[in-house]
Structure 1
Amino acid sequence: MCQALSAPSPPCTALLSFLFFLLTVVGPVSVSAWRPWPQKNNMNTTDYAFGDSKKYEGSSEFVKLRYHMGPVLTTNITVHTIWYGKWERNQKKIIREFINSISAANSAHPSVAGWWRTVQLYTDQTGANISKSVRLGEEKNDRFYSHGKSLTRLSIQTVIKSAITAKTRPLPINPRSGLYLLLTADDVYVQDFCTSVCGFHYFTFPSLVGYTLPYAWVGNSAKFCPGQCAYPFAVPAYIPNRKPFKSPNGDVGVDGMISVIGHEMAELATNPLANAWYAGQDPSFPVEIADLCEGIYGTGGGGSYTGQVLDARDGATYNMNGIRRRFLVQWVWSHVLNYCTGPNALDH
């Protein structure tokens, strides 16, 4: 449901409760479903751990991801973007290319499109898979902060309403296959930002917006909390003597946003109305396919350890190729494999 803080990442409420149960009730376990951190590989990879603690991919023995018969996004997905606040041209280019790369089948391996193929494995009750087609739709700029620089979770929906009801160039209303992405600039604070979340998704309320529209919000943390929401491109002050990774596109805030955007888009596709794919008993606090893989970017990753990722010639760190750029994007849960996976997995 939400992209929690990630350095080391205190997960969203439901996931935290789930992990607390495992530690306090079930106790320490060792099960065969946990895959060990490989000792050898022939890829140009980086290991990154805080201290000696290395966690591994999720265990299928305890994760009970279920389908609750709700709709998923099986028709061509169109992403309508709202740029709230002041954005630089190059910042927009980075985010646009990431979204366009989701359907770019010819990108070099490991690719963003390869990452999305795990999301495509999820189906609705008719057996229809989530669409492989994700494209950019209309965009709306809100350069003058029409709802202020401090937003609540509810006022985010009013920003979306303003975008679809604008007198000039309103965003199209597309409840079936539209995905509304609200991106806030680095001087905008959103409720719970930095303290518990870096982004979240839900759907708009008809009583407030007039329609039920799946949406996600992601904020640029560059000024408020890069060590939390742009990790590992920034490291919190309370973790001494650790050098952050070099961001692949030269913008710590935006490169940090990319993984959060991927997290929320994967969950929106598989659980747009909070009644499709999730673990746990409470749909108000679901544990979704990206929540299950919080902080995992490569084989052996989890918790404060990113896993094995790739080093570019310029020293930047990434794990996926886009059309022309590189990105670092967290993995998602595969209900076929019953563990977290990504295109850069060493056992593929």
Structure 2
Amino acid sequence: MNTAVHSNVAILVLVVLFAADPAAAWRPWPQNANRMNVSDYAFGDSKKYEGSSEFVKLRYHMGPVLTTNITVHTIWYGRWERNQKKIIREFINSISAVNSPRPSVAAWWRTVQLYTDQTGANISKSVRLGQEKNDRFYSHGKSLTRLSIQSVIKSAITARTKPLPINPRSGLYLLLTADDVYVQDFCTSVCGFHYFTFPSLVGYTLPYAWVGNSEKLCPGQCAYPFAVPAYIPNMKPFKSPNGDVGVDGMISVIGHEMAELATNPLANAWYAGQDPTFPVEIADLCEGIYGTGGGGSYTGQVLDAHDGATYNMNGIRRKYLVQWVWSHVLNYCTGPNALDH
């Protein structure tokens, strides 16, 4: 083999090794002993710290964070209804909105903004929708692996008509799969994850997140608490604020992954634990917590809309239920509906 071939083989081996476990994988439902993973073990049998905890050793590892204006480029994979897209777009637009009623999505993002890079620059307060790409015909099939997710992104940025722009410094690529698409480990251990694309596969290093619509496949796992897993008896699901269990469940996962992409886009910035391939990030620390007192199967103190729906923050025109994130300033999980604000 010549040098180029040796180099390509080495790159391929690294791709396979890293692709096996993206830096973050999230599920919103309460954990039990049968679902313990490496990061659970590092902090005991729960990663939820609603109160202050000196055991959480969140550290900055000197990597970049998203300090310039963040542009979210969306790939709609599969068939999506117009209203479903509208719910998600309005959530993303709400992150930088200035006139939303309190408690607001924008106030939730302000905790994310507190994180800085090594120069002291804060994460951008500006998050806006970029371009979109529709993949209505399931170009890579209805069953995706972690590597084929990167191939979907490559197809979107290299399309002959209206390709997504290539923006490694401030672009955030959001791949959303419809409710009839299965992704590797979906429902069993993840509802969404984030990582970065490999130049050997995509041509660029681009921070990306995948989130799936779980309504048909596993709402009890990935649309909790709007659906309830079977192992929690006698618990009534909450009414979703926008009348779509699958999409309302996705909103919190999208928020989770965007917060972690902003603070740890290349798996070398803000996280707890010693292994960057199994990090505990700022949203992982607050899984299942949506209000004061949250933890376990209890969401914490949330709000009831006039129609009986459950939410904890307001967007521009809609209400959403979004999990809290960890504040390294306060040293505990917090959100805009916290009772101590």
Task: Look up the equivalent residue of 1:320 and give its one-letter code.
Answer: M
- Distance (whole Å) between structure 2 residues aligned to residue 249 and residue 21 of structure 1: 33
Alignment partner of 1:6 out of 14, 23, 28: 28
Q: In structure 1, what is the equivalent of residue 294 of structure 2?
A: 301
Q: Is the 8 Å Cα contact of residues 9 and 295 (structure 1) preserved in structure 2?
A: no
- Distance (whole Å) between structure 2 residues aligned to residue 335 and residue 72 of structure 1: 15
Alignment partner of 1:284 out of 277, 284, 287: 277
Task: Look up the equivalent residue of 1:273 and give its one-letter code.
Answer: L
Q: In structure 2, what is the equivalent of residue 149 of structure 1?
A: 142
Q: Counterparts in 2 of 1:324-343, with a 5 A limit?
A: 324-343=317-336
**Is 1:185 aligned with 2:207?**
no
How far did residue 5 of structure 1 move? 2.6
Task: Look up the equivalent residue of 2:40 and give its one-letter code.
Answer: L
- Distance (whole Å) between structure 2 residues aligned to residue 157 and residue 22 of structure 1: 31
Q: In structure 1, what is the equivalent of residue 99 of structure 2?
A: 106
Q: Which sections of structure 1, spanning at least 5 residues, go unmatched?
A: 24-54
Q: In structure 1, what is the equivalent of residue 213 of structure 2?
A: 220
Q: Counterparts in 2 of 1:45-194, with a 5 A limit?
A: 57-194=50-187
Task: Look up the equivalent residue of 2:194 and give its one-letter code.
Answer: H
How far did residue 56 of structure 1 move? 5.7
Local SS of the residue matching 1:98 = helix
How far did residue 4 of structure 1 move? 2.7
Task: Look up the equivalent residue of 1:136 and give its one-letter code.
Answer: L
Alignment partner of 1:235 out of 228, 233, 239: 228
Local SS of the residue matching 1:20 = coil
Q: Deviations 1:27-83 (Å, cap 9, x if unpaired)? A: xxxxxxxxxxxxxxxxxxxxxxxxxxxx76154310000000000000000000000
Q: Deviations 1:144-182 (Å, cap 9, x if unpaired)? A: 000000000111000000000000000000000000000
Q: Is the 8 Å Cα contact of residues 59 and 272 (structure 2) preserved in structure 1?
A: yes
Task: Look up the equivalent residue of 1:322 and give its one-letter code.
Answer: G
Alpha-carbon spacing, 1:172–1:22, altered in 2? closer, same or farther (3 Å): closer
- Distance (whole Å) between structure 2 residues aligned to residue 285 and residue 295 of structure 1: 19
- Distance (whole Å) between structure 1 residues aligned to residue 300 and residue 59 of structure 2: 27
Q: Deviations 1:180-223 (Å, cap 9, x if unpaired)? A: 00000000000000000000000000000000000000000000
Question: Normalized against structure 1, the TM-score is what?
Answer: 0.89
Q: In structure 1, what is the equivalent of residue 312 of structure 2?
A: 319
Local SS of the residue matching 1:340 = strand
- Distance (whole Å) between structure 2 residues aligned to residue 121 and residue 56 of structure 1: 19
Q: In structure 2, what is the equivalent of residue 245 of structure 1?
A: 238
Q: In structure 2, what is the equivalent of residue 260 of structure 1?
A: 253
How far did residue 243 of structure 1 move? 1.0
Q: Is the 8 Å Cα contact of residues 52 and 330 (structure 2) preserved in structure 1?
A: no
Local SS of the residue matching 1:197 = coil
**Is 1:17 aligned with 2:41?**
yes
Task: Look up the equivalent residue of 2:326 and give its one-letter code.
Answer: W
Local SS of the residue matching 2:59 = strand
How many percent identity over aligned positions? Answer: 88
- Distance (whole Å) between structure 1 residues aligned to residue 179 and residue 99 of structure 2: 33
Task: Look up the equivalent residue of 1:62 and give its one-letter code.
Answer: F
Alpha-carbon spacing, 1:174–1:12, altered in 2? closer, same or farther (3 Å): farther
- Provide the alpha-carbon RMSD of the alignment: 1.5
- Distance (whole Å) between structure 2 residues aligned to residue 12 and residue 74 of structure 1: 34
- Distance (whole Å) between structure 2 residues aligned to residue 64 and residue 300 of structure 1: 21
How far did residue 234 of structure 1 move? 0.4
Local SS of the residue matching 1:83 = strand
Q: Deviations 1:249-276 (Å, cap 9, x if unpaired)? A: 0000000000000000000000000000
Following TM superposition, the consecutive aligned residue runs of length 4 or more in structure 1 with deviations greater than 4 angstroms are none
Q: Is the 8 Å Cα contact of residues 56 and 272 (structure 2) preserved in structure 1?
A: yes
- Distance (whole Å) between structure 2 residues aligned to residue 73 and residue 275 of structure 1: 13
Local SS of the residue matching 1:158 = helix
